[in-house]
Structure 1
Amino acid sequence: MASDRDTRPAVRIARLWEGANPRVTRRSMLRSMAFFAVAAQGLAACGVGEAPSGGDTGPAGATPASNDVDEPVLNFYNWTDYIDEETLPGFEAETGIRVTYDNFSSNDELEAKIASGAAGYDLVIPTDNFLRRFLRSDLLRPLDHDMLPNLGNLQQRFREADYDRDNRFSVPWAWGTTGLAYSPEQLGEDVTSLAGFDLPSARGRSILLDEARDGLALGLLALGHDPNTVEQSELDEAVAYLLELKGRLGQITSDVIEPLASGQAPLAQAYSGDVFQAQEINSDLVYVIPEEGGLSWVDVLCIPNDAPHAANAHRFIDYILRPEVGARLAEEIQYASPNEAALELIDPALREDPLIYPPADELARLPFTADLGAETEGRYADAWTRVKTG
């Protein structure tokens, strides 16, 4: 796996821990560009396009609803740039199941689509804090563990996670951190804190993530507040901070890979793996956890209540849980794998990188986005609307 991939040293990699070795990237720029060429040529094979609408179905693994559809189709809704190019063709070739593959750019976009009740998707990937929102709204069906023999490959921490203990409704896809990406060459200096947004060289060109909890967390952390605060006064302060920052930003978007890779954005709040992907094209990029702190998160596979092909969704989840498939996924997207059995197959340069697999002391200042309850989550949503529209 790793042996057949081009490697090269990253020119500049931020190091937050004394004595860490330079990270070796796992894909050349040509390999990255080849992905888009292969994807374009393979649209018909993978069935990329709008997923058809599906009817209401019952819980997977229980008694199937009478209108569950028995056909070799899987409608999959995933984040942009978040899959290995071999995953879907490999699954299709082995199972004969045709995958319709669509992308979204934010949890809010995903939630709106699934909550509409007419999306027809069989498999979606929300982030852990949105998983809890989906569960409160009864949008998901429980998993049938009898159909997931590879579930035991998960690391223990992901089988006992508070967001979904015992994996009743979800299986983790990948996990990572939220920090900053920047170009030392373009900015003219190193960035170690959120004060980097104040640099004249970043003015009008920097990016804030278009996610309520991530974007507001930046404002909260900059002001010394808990990114999981429940205090309205602190949320209001964060809104004021971000509205002032907004005047100096280039854009608010979660699609950061292309702007970072092309040099359009010299500074961005970003998810760790997105930065590592962009580094394959722009080796000047650096990823750091700012002095003020950041966030940890887990993206999870789950099956909507109205999924028309729930059995096929289970087959795909179990396929991803295979060690070799999970290892290829981790190497391609460059996010940390939750698959314990896959770790020994992952390129050591990735597996031993503390920016991807942070040590315990660093994780202590990278809390997960907590489930704050419907009322507080609503206040976060209102606060983010004020930032976006103000």
Structure 2
Amino acid sequence: MPDPVRKAWERSRANGRAAMSRRRLLRLGSLAAGGAALAGCGIPPAAGNRGGNDPEDTPDHSKKERLLNFANWPLYIDVDEKDKKKRPTLDRFERESGIRVKYVEDINDNNEFYGKIKPQLAAGQDTGRDLICLTDWMAGRVIRQGWAQRLDPARIPHAVANLEDRFRTAAQDPGRQYSYPWAGTACVLAYNKKATGGKKVTSVTQLLEDEALKGKVSMLSELADTMGLTMLDTGIDPRKFTDDDFDKTLARIQKAVDSKQLRRFSGNDYMDELSSGDIAACLAWAGDIVQLKLDNPDVEFAIPESGYLFGTDDLLVPAKARHQANAEALIDYYYQPKRAAELAAWVNYICPVSGAKAEMEKIDKDLAEDPLIFPDAKTVERGRNFRPLTDKEHSRYENKFSKLIGA
């Protein structure tokens, strides 16, 4: 009899999970609002206090109130194969801990969600959420404003012990004092070998310059991934680029736009086009490609020799949250290797938990060997982060990028 997690995973495939990944459905960082929205999210210096980090300033009601309000992205947790309202790992946490979890999928976009909770955070008020999941660059922004509560290592022993080494150093949260990864993310190359005539696509240079691909190439409407991968291909380190480096990279992509080499910048629909062959090659998120390859053998991926873009979606406790200890209990629970493997078997993104690969082998050996879920040392070495941006840089760069992609 197959493992329940595997059955749920197979069921999700049959129901179109591969075509409805979290990042496909709802992109992080909406560019529809453009740079103006980012500028509008600027935080006045006076608001950047450390309200909420002092235990005396923020009473923890966890012992008396066995509750936890957890805000996450849609399609980012395992779901029962028969009853879609049930979430096996989360339900088990509730039974084992006695903590009732109100799980809400209300993070559809980093900037949008930030705008939603910013007024309460700036006013020193409880947001009504005890645990939130934000992409690393936005998590860093919240942390820098002093709007995240420092985690207590004594209450998250599994997380402290089992966090993979490569995740321990985080530019947005040095020392991992305020956040722990829910999942790792990777932007790589993907192509439809039928649409390319069997030709492999292994570099951004091919996307931008190969005449055989002209008009059948897409890049992403996410600044960090498109700019970061192109920087790497150009020989620029996205961890420490300058304004001139940014402009140089932008001009290179603009040239491909002007020549009609690039067909479009895609947000939530590149998977359909890649699968059908309308797009021959593109930039893609690894978790999506893991899912898509299961349904379409023509889809392949490649990690460029120049490297790929690596990031995380991070769990953190917002300032003034009422139930920090309960939130820490959940973080610690998902850092148990067995629970982490069960989660990764469904979401298919990079698992940040040491020991989870061995547990995944009991669920699905193919997934355990998939380098897009459990990267080997060589793959890890080729990953690069996009450096954190200041609020002014966010506004300036997003304005330029929005013009490039026509947003």
Q: Distance in 2 between matches of 1:302 and 1:255?
A: 29
Q: Under a length normalisation based on structure 1, what TM-score does the superposition of the two structures give?
A: 0.74
- CA displacement 1:323-372 (0-9 Å, x = unmatched): 21111112222233221132321224333444444444443432222335
Confirm or deny that 1:208 pairs with 2:202.
no
Q: Name the amino acid aligned to 1:81.
A: L
Kept in 1: contact 2:287–2:347 (CA 8 A) = yes
Paired residue for 1:53? none
Q: Name the amino acid aligned to 2:173.
A: D
Paired residue for 2:32? none
Taking structure 1 as reference, are residues 31 and 262 closer, same or farther at Cα in structure 2, changes over 3 Å only?
farther
Summarize the alignment of residues 343-382 of structure 1 with structure 2, pairs less than 5 Å apart: 343-347=357-361, 348-371=365-388, 373=390, 376-382=393-399
- CA displacement 1:177-231 (0-9 Å, x = unmatched): 2111221123323212222355678666654333221122133234333223432
Q: Distance in 2 between matches of 1:191 and 1:313?
A: 43
Kept in 2: contact 1:228–1:372 (CA 8 A) = no
Shift, 1:378, TM fit: 4.8
Q: Distance in 2 between matches of 1:103 and 1:259?
A: 27
Shift, 1:101, TM fit: 2.0
Kept in 1: contact 2:70–2:101 (CA 8 A) = no
Q: Name the amino acid aligned to 2:203.
A: S
Paired residue for 1:81? 75
Confirm or deny that 1:278 pairs with 2:292.
yes
Q: Distance in 1 between matches of 2:373 and 2:59?
A: 44
- Corresponding residue SS for 2:398: helix
Paired residue for 1:235? 246
Q: Distance in 2 between matches of 1:206 and 1:112?
A: 33
Q: Distance in 2 between matches of 1:297 and 1:245?
A: 26
Match of residue 55, structure 2, among 47, 62, 70: 62
Q: Distance in 2 between matches of 1:268 and 1:239?
A: 17
Q: Distance in 1 between matches of 2:248 and 2:50?
A: 44
Kept in 2: contact 1:207–1:250 (CA 8 A) = yes
Paired residue for 2:176? 167
Q: Distance in 1 between matches of 2:119 and 2:398?
A: 18
Q: Under a length normalisation based on structure 2, what TM-score does the superposition of the two structures give?
A: 0.72
Paired residue for 1:131? 139
Paired residue for 1:50? none
- Corresponding residue SS for 1:228: coil
Confirm or deny that 1:226 pairs with 2:237.
yes
Summarize the alignment of residues 309-320 of structure 1 with structure 2, pairs less than 5 Å apart: 309-320=323-334
Taking structure 1 as reference, are residues 168 and 67 closer, same or farther at Cα in structure 2, changes over 3 Å only?
closer
Shift, 1:276, TM fit: 0.3
- Corresponding residue SS for 1:283: coil
Taking structure 1 as reference, are residues 129 and 111 closer, same or farther at Cα in structure 2, changes over 3 Å only?
same
Q: CA RMSD in A?
A: 3.8
- CA displacement 1:31-59 (0-9 Å, x = unmatched): 324486xx9xxxxxxxxxxxxxxxx9964
Gaps of at least 5 residues in structure 1 are 8-25, 40-55
Q: Distance in 2 between matches of 1:265 and 1:131?
A: 33
Paired residue for 1:48? none
Shift, 1:296, TM fit: 1.9
Confirm or deny that 1:328 pairs with 2:339.
no
Q: Distance in 2 between matches of 1:351 and 1:175?
A: 15
Q: Distance in 2 between matches of 1:349 and 1:304?
A: 37
Q: Name the amino acid aligned to 2:200.
A: D
Shift, 1:302, TM fit: 0.9
Shift, 1:170, TM fit: 0.8
Q: Report which stretch shifted further, 87-96 or 281-290.
A: 87-96
Paired residue for 1:22? none
Query: How many residues get paired?
Result: 353
Kept in 2: contact 1:83–1:329 (CA 8 A) = yes
Paired residue for 2:192? 183
- Corresponding residue SS for 2:282: strand
- CA displacement 1:364-383 (0-9 Å, x = unmatched): 43222233555545543343
- Corresponding residue SS for 2:221: coil
Paired residue for 1:302? 316
Confirm or deny that 1:340 pairs with 2:354.
yes
Taking structure 1 as reference, are residues 35 and 388 closer, same or farther at Cα in structure 2, changes over 3 Å only?
closer
Match of residue 155, structure 2, among 147, 164, 169: 147
Paired residue for 1:32? 13
Shift, 1:100, TM fit: 3.0
Q: Distance in 1 between matches of 2:183 and 2:162?
A: 14
Paired residue for 1:101? 104
Taking structure 1 as reference, are residues 117 and 185 closer, same or farther at Cα in structure 2, changes over 3 Å only?
farther
- CA displacement 1:274-328 (0-9 Å, x = unmatched): 2102223323211111344322222221112243543432232122112211111
Q: Name the amino acid aligned to 1:148.
A: I
Kept in 2: contact 1:176–1:356 (CA 8 A) = no
Paired residue for 1:193? 203
- Corresponding residue SS for 2:251: helix
Paired residue for 2:45? none
Q: Name the amino acid aligned to 2:239.
A: N
Q: Name the amino acid aligned to 1:90.
A: R
Q: Name the amino acid aligned to 1:123.
A: L
Taking structure 1 as reference, are residues 264 and 117 closer, same or farther at Cα in structure 2, changes over 3 Å only?
farther
Gaps of at least 5 residues in structure 2 are 21-48, 80-87, 122-126
Q: Name the amino acid aligned to 1:384.
A: F
